[in-house]
């Protein structure tokens, strides 16, 4: 009887072992699949952070906010194969006065003050939208192929200064149920980097700007003072310099007060600016002395500019006193390439000649005749 009972239990034992083996094999397969999935995610994360590190490196190497934005546009498109990368910047925010001429209207759109808050975009770091379902009023007809978009708030919830849009023709690329941790981190990096760059640029600008007149001050010239003019304005570019000194400025201050003297300086600068290009450097050397540099300006045109400035200053009065200015001209021919200091000294000497001849006139330094 014992042998028969043993024979009866053997199939059950084999059946249990077989089921256990099958279960272990299934668990093993699931474990391998899980490990494979995790390895894929780790590799994807590694690739993601490698791209992020590349972008951070490029951003930190940017020389100014404009360069930073241009770099971000290029890097984000290439690194992540995006169909749209665009900035919307609040024109009345901290970035509002920043030069961005290198960015096209495809890359940057200036928006009115308060629009970010009015849209509710300040409430979250990142918004993921599917265009057919959610839509987005800031999009343009040329963006009609986009299916999904990520909107990254730049700045804090209380003080947003812009929005960065990342768009794709794939509807699932920025689906609303996806994680936004990486995008939020990216938004924070861009925000902090731009804020730092803008602050640094403003401080640098203040250091070389005359607080009264708003033109450059003497420190602006220091990096260029002993270098050939070609290193600043380009090889073969002729450069003219006007050295301007207000006549009897001390008398104006003594008779009318320092407020009137300040008014005379600011009005003179305004007159000069009306006759030259916005990019032509105008520097207050100190007191009532100014230097105006005119790269690429012909000698006859420079003479006209000097006489027009002289004429307009003569027609300006401060508390019924007529202003006047003495102007010295100097030229660096395209084959001469003086240093900046040499050119300014020549213009300065010509100005003193104008002063010695009674002031309120234009005098030119000796220069090589144009060929």
Of residues 90, 247, 263, 288, which has the active-site annotation?
288
Q: Are 353 and 302 within 8 A, CB to CB?
A: no
Q: Which segment of 164-168, 173-177, 241-245 scores lowest on mean pLDDT? A: 173-177
Structure tokens at 134: 């959610």
What is the mean predicted confidence (pLDDT) over 151-157? Answer: 95
Provide mean pLDDT across the span 194-215.
88
Task: Output the pLDDT for position 98.
Answer: 87
Q: What is the pLDDT of residues 296-353, one digit of tens each?
A: 999 999 999 999 999 999 999 999 999 999 999 999 988 888 999 999 999 999 999 9
**Domain 216-364: assigned CATH number:** 3.30.70.270
What are the extents of the domains in the chain?
Answer: 62-207, 216-364
What was the pLDDT predicted at 17? 73
| 368 has pLDDT over 60 | no
Catalytic status, residue 210:
no
CATH topology of domain 62-207: Beta-Lactamase (3.30.450)
Per-residue pLDDT reduced to its tens digit, 30-88? 777 766 666 655 555 556 556 667 777 777 777 788 988 998 898 888 888 899 999 99
Mean pLDDT, rounded, of the chain: 87
pLDDT at 215: 94
> Residue 297 in contact with residue 331, Cβ under 8 Å?
no
Would you give the end-to-end CA distance of the chain in angstroms? 130
* Mean pLDDT (whole number) for 134-157: 92
* Whole-number Å distance between alpha carbons of 61 and 102: 17
Question: What pLDDT sits at residue 371?
Answer: 44
Q: Is the pTM of this model over 0.85?
A: no
pLDDT of residue 166: 94
Q: Report the sign of the C-alpha dihedral through residues 218, 212, 296, 350, in that order.
A: negative
């Amino acid at each position: 009887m014992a042998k028969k009972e043993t024979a009866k239990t053997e199939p059950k034992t084999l059946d249990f072992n077989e089921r256990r083996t099958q279960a272990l094999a299934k668990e093993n397969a699931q474990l391998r699949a899980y490990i494979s999935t995790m390895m894929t995610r780790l590799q994807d994360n590694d690739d993601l952070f490698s791209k992020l590190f590349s972008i951070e490196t490029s951003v930190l190497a940017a020389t100014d906010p404009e360069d930073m934005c241009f770099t971000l546009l290029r890097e984000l498109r290439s690194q992540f194969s995006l169909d749209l990368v665009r900035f919307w910047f609040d024109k009345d925010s901290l970035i509002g006065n920043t030069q961005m001429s290198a960015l096209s209207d495809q890359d940057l759109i200036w928006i009115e003050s308060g629009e970010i808050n009015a849209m509710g975009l300040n409430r979250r770091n990142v918004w993921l939208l599917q265009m057919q379902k959610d839509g987005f009023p800031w999009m343009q007809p040329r963006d009609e192929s986009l299916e999904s978009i990520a909107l990254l708030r730049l700045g804090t919830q209380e003080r947003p200064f812009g929005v960065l849009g990342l768009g794709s023709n794939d509807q699932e690329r920025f689906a609303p149920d996806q994680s936004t941790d990486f995008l939020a981190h990216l938004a924070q990096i861009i925000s902090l980097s731009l804020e730092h760059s803008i602050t640094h640029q403003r401080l640098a600008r203040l250091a070389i700007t005359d607080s009264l007149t708003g033109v450059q001050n003497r420190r602006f010239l220091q990096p260029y003072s002993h270098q050939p003019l070609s290193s600043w304005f380009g090889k073969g570019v002729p450069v003219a310099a006007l050295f301007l000194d207000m006549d009897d400025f001390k008398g104006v201050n003594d008779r009318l007060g320092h407020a009137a003297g300040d008014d005379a300086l600011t009005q003179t600068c305004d007159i000069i600016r009306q006759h030259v290009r916005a990019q032509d450097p105008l520097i207050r050397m100190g007191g009532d002395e100014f230097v105006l540099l005119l790269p690429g300006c012909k000698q006859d045109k420079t003479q006209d500019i000097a006489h027009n400035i002289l004429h307009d200053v003569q027609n300006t009065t401060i508390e019924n006193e007529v202003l006047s200015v003495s102007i010295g001209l100097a030229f660096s021919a395209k084959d001469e390439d003086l240093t900046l200091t040499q050119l300014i000294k020549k213009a300065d000497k010509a100005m003193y000649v104008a002063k010695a001849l009674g002031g309120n006139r234009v005098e030119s330094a000796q220069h090589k005749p144009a060929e």
